[in-house]
Amino acid sequence: MRVKRTPEDLGIHLSSKKEKELFKWFLLCLLYGKPVQQQVAERAYQMLARTRLLSPDAILRAGWDELVRLLDEAHYVRYDFSTATKLLHVSKELKERYGSLTSLIAESKTPAELSKRLQEFKYIGPTTARIFLRGVRPIWYPSGAGAKGKKPGTPQRGPRSSKQR
């Protein structure tokens, strides 16, 4: 049975709203998106973290051969080639289209819009988008603000009383 892990369970501090922490969660979600055991995906993430491959630039500098080697070492072997390709492609596309995950989120007014934008990336489907949103939604779209079409961080207003009208 798969336990739903939070970013904090894995030492990822999304509440800081720092790009580095956001990319860590994104990277882990890309690994979770394949049909592998949760522990294998987490071990692969830890391997990438130990080798400081925690940014799009670092992923791109590492290259395909190094990513495959690290994924193999973490026993992420069945999908090592395709995942290395995915990590490289998504990192490049993120930089080219948005510059950063923070910018991608800022351009997405709702969680649904963010999910749609994520799924426009080659190699990102509904599962990866759903997992990513599970961590991001409470911080960037608090109290359902994004679900109602309001921009993230927009204060919620209650109904007016008769005295205010």
Place of tokens 């991608």: 104
Asked if residue 115 is part of any domain, the answer here is: yes
Kindly report the pTM of this predicted structure.
0.84
Number of domains in the chain: 1
Instruction: Look at residue 84 and tell me if it is in a domain.
Output: yes
Question: What are the angstrom distances between the C-alpha of 88 and each of 33, 35, 37, 61, 156?
Answer: 15, 19, 22, 9, 39
User: Is residue 3 situated within a structural domain?
Assistant: no
Name the residue range of residue 51's domain.
Answer: 12-146
In the chain, which residue ranges form alpha helices assigned H by DSSP? 19-32, 38-50, 56-73, 80-97, 101-107, 111-119, 126-140
Residue 132 belongs to some domain of the structure: yes
The CATH number of residue 95's host domain is 1.10.340.30
pLDDT digits (tens, 9 = 90+) for 118-161: 999 999 999 999 999 999 999 999 976 444 444 444 433 333 33
Per-residue pLDDT tens for 41-90?
999 999 999 999 999 999 999 999 999 999 999 999 889 999 999 999 99
- Asked whether residue 5 is domain-assigned, the answer is no
**Alpha carbon separation from 98 to 30, 102, 118 (Å, rounded):** 18, 9, 11
Asked if the structure places residue 165 within a domain, the reply is: no
In a domain, 163, yes or no: no
